[in-house]
């Protein structure tokens, strides 16, 4: 009865190779596969407090302006190996008026790709010794995205681990360090390596002007667990990130499950329950989490598309109560994107300043040097009629 997220249903592959457009790997030039352990020399506090995006009441303050933000997701941009493709995507995103881009800041493997295979990965996990890949097929790919986004005034949400097995995730840590997926949050060896990875990434981008926020995970869940499990882990981890980088925002990256209704009549609908070990309002109370995140795939959760506006309004109410802005950071319906998602965007915008502070559709699509980027059924391609509807028209509605 419990549905995985829609992007998994639609077959996001575990290997970078299989999500990239046809032939991309074959076309690559040979890159160095140097693997090194992190050097955490930089002081993250060097980032000027004034230059980083912050919350401002129930809104975000970015580049000196406090306004509702439109954004999108590209999980794959940091796995591209052609700089020109990264530039093209960021040019289009910036030209569209989208301010925030969420990217995968993780790519974990438990077996290293064959030397010279050019497959991008960021971290190799093993109980015998994990390694963070800072080589040309490692974090240097994310470096390029961070620098290219900075040049164009695009702000990035970067997360550190997946709940799902795409690009490794918690299941990869479980493979390397043992235990069940649910036990990940309390697995000392897994958490030690996760923190080493977090530290490597956060300090690496200490001075980057393009970081919007650090995100603990993509869609953390702990099915059947007491809500204490994720709550305690999120409190400890976010506090740790703030110790490394006190000025930047930190958020959870969750789907927003375990939600009180604004009207006080408890809902028994699955996303409202704590079945996945998540308690949205309680987690939002963690002092070192700056804003709330939630996702919306009604069909993937066994609900109707009309579920959307209520889900948005109930999150807005919970965020308002907590005094922190809410970001609808992923949404998609699979079909009839314009008709359905336009109504969702309108519902979110209607609550601007009253709990909602932005929305980011899943996911950006573009035409790369190798062809069209992956279509998981929720891809909105730049220049398409759905793009006109959900990007241009939406940005116009925000600025008017």
Ligand X SMILES: *[C@@H]1O[C@H](CO)[C@@H](O)[C@H](O)[C@H]1NC(C)=O
List, in sequence order, every beta strand (DSSP E) within 177-274.
Answer: 211-215, 249-251
**Smallest gap from residue 26 Cβ to ligand X (A):** 33
Rounded CA-CA distance 138/299 in Å is: 35
- Pick the catalytic residue from 255, 276, 330, 341: 330
The answer to whether 362 and 332 have CB atoms below 8 angstroms apart is yes
Closest separation between CB of residue 41 and ligand X, Å?
6
In DSSP terms, 381 is beta-bridged to: 365
Cα separation, 77 vs 66, in Å, equals 27
Q: How far apart are CA 133 and CA 286, in angstroms?
A: 32
Which residues of this protein are in contact with ligand X, per CB under 6 A? 2, 4, 42, 46, 163, 170, 181-182, 184, 204, 206-207, 221-223, 261, 263, 265, 267, 276, 310, 314
Q: In terms of Cα–Cα distance, which of 175, 171, 140, 156 is closest to 73?
A: 156
Asked whether the CA dihedral 257, 258, 263, 267 is positive or negative, the reply is positive
Closer Cβ to ligand X, 70 or 259, answer by number: 259
Instruction: Note if 330 is an active site residue.
Output: yes
Closest contact distance (angstroms) between CB of 42 and ligand X is 3
255 is catalytic: no
Smaller CB separation from ligand X, 3 or 381: 3
If the CB atoms of residues 90 and 170 are measured against ligand X, the closer one turns out to be: 170
Q: How far is the CB of 8 from ligand X (least distance, A)?
A: 9
Question: CB-wise, 97 or 186, nearer to ligand X?
Answer: 186
CA 380 to each of CA 13, 64, 355, 369: distance values in angstroms, whole numbers, following the listed order: 19, 29, 26, 18
Q: How many CB atoms lie within 10 A of CB 39?
A: 11
Nearer to ligand X, 243 or 385 (CB): 243
Name the token pair of 319: 């965020």
Least distance between ligand X and beta carbon 5 (Å) = 8
Long-range contacts of 285-289 (CB under 8 A, 24+ apart): 285/322, 286/231, 286/234, 286/235, 286/238, 288/235, 288/238, 288/239, 288/241, 288/242, 288/250, 289/234, 289/238, 289/250, 289/251, 289/252, 289/324
CB of 54 to ligand X, least distance (A): 19
Minimum gap (Å) between residue 260 Cβ and ligand X: 10
Q: Which is nearer to ligand X, 285 or 310 (CB)?
A: 310
Cα end-to-end distance, the chain, whole Å: 42
Comparison of 88 and 230: residue with beta carbon closer to ligand X: 230
DSSP assignment string, 330-359:
EE--SS-HHHHHHHHHHHHHHTBTTTEEEE
Choosing from 219, 276, 329, 341, which is the catalytic residue?
Answer: 219
| Radius of gyration from C-alpha coordinates of the chain | 20
Structure tokens, 20: 């990239």
H-helix or E-strand spanning residue 365: strand 364-365
Catalytic residues: 219, 330
């Amino acid at each position: 009865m419990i549905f995985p997220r829609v992007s998994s249903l639609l077959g996001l592959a575990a290997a970078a190779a299989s999500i990239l457009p046809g032939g991309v790997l074959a076309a690559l030039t040979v890159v160095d596969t140097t693997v090194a352990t992190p050097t955490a020399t930089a002081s993250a506090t060097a980032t000027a407090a004034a230059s980083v995006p912050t919350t401002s009441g129930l809104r975000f303050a970015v580049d000196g302006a406090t306004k509702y933000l439109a954004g999108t997701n590209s999980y794959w941009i940091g796995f591209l190996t052609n700089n020109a493709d990264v530039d093209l995507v960021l040019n289009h995103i910036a030209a569209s008026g989208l301010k925030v881009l969420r990217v995968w800041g993780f790519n974990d493997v438990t077996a290293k790709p064959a030397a010279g295979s050019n497959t991008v990965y960021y971290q190799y996990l093993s109980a015998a010794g994990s390694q963070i890949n800072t080589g040309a097929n490692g974090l240097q790919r994310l470096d390029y995205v961070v620098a290219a986004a900075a040049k164009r005034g695009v702000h990035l949400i970067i997360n550190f681990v997946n709940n799902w097995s795409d690009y490794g995730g918690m299941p990869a840590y479980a493979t390397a360090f043992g235990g069940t997926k649910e036990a990940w949050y309390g697995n000392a060896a897994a958490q030690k390596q996760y923190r080493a990875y977090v530290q490597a990434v956060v300090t690496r981008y200490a001075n980057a002007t393009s970081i919007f926020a650090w995100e603990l995970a993509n869609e953390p869940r702990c099915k059947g667990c007491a809500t204490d499990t994720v709550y305690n882990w999120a409190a400890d981890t976010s506090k740790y990130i703030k110790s490394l980088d006190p000025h930047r925002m930190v958020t959870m990256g969750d789907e927003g499950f375990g939600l009180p209704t604004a009207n006080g009549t408890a809902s028994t609908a699955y996303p409202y329950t704590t079945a996945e070990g998540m308690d949205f309002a309680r987690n939002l109370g963690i002092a070192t989490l700056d804003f709330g995140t939630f996702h919306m795939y009604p069909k993937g959760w066994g609900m109707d598309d009309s579920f959307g506006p209520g889900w948005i309004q109930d999150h807005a109410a919970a965020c308002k109560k907590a005094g922190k802005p809410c970001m609808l950071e992923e949404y998609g319906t699979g079909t009839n994107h314009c008709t359905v998602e336009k109504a969702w965007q309108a519902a979110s915008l209607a609550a601007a300043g009253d709990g909602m502070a932005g929305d980011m559709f899943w996911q950006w699509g573009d035409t790369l040097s190798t062809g069209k980027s992956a279509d998981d059924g929720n891809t909105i391609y730049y220049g398409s009629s759905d793009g006109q509807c959900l990007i241009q028209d939406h940005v116009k509605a925000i600025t008017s």
